[in-house]
Homo-oligomer: A and B are copies of this chain.
Amino acid sequence: MVKSKTSAIKKRSDCPISCTLDLVGDKWSLLIIRDMMMFGKTTYNEFLASNEKIATNILNDRLISLTDKGLITYTGSARRKKYQLTAFGMELKPIIEAIANFGMKNFTKSKAYTQKQMKAAGK
């Protein structure tokens, strides 16, 4: 598991928002955290199967990066990792929920989509 290319973001200010965005200011990181938080996904293949079709190199890079930042951790063997959010990562929940609420309110197709996905996840 080599170093992520994007994990060493140069800090640009002490603003709380800016510091948080240094951690999760890209859509792929947030989508992975969504998958873990809302759909209980834990494995590489599960993340890969999401509808957004993340590229394998981006997925791998982000899993490494999020692990380095302490937002997620994993168990299992080196090539069969099961990822999960750390307590630190769980603190991102209000952000994910706020993003979800905005989407539910403003994108009509998103409501049907969410019901379908929740059913599929059995949760």
Contact = CB atoms under 8 A, between A and B. Distances in A.
B17 A100 contact: yes
A44 to B, nearest CB: 19
Given A25-B26, A26-B25, A98-B95, A31 B18 contact: yes
B30 A107 contact: no
A112 B19 CA distance: 13
Interface string A102-121: 11111101111110010000
Interface residues of A, number: 46
A58 interface: no
Given A20-B102, A21-B99, A91-B105, A113 B15 contact: yes
Given A14-B51, A15-B103, 18 more contacts: A12-B51, A12-B53, A13-B52, A16-B103, A17-B34, A18-B27, A18-B51, A18-B103, A19-B110, A20-B99, A20-B102, A21-B27, A21-B99, A25-B26, A88-B106, A95-B95, A95-B102, A98-B98
Interface of A: 12-22, 25-27, 30-31, 34, 38, 50-53, 88, 91-92, 94-107, 109-114, 117
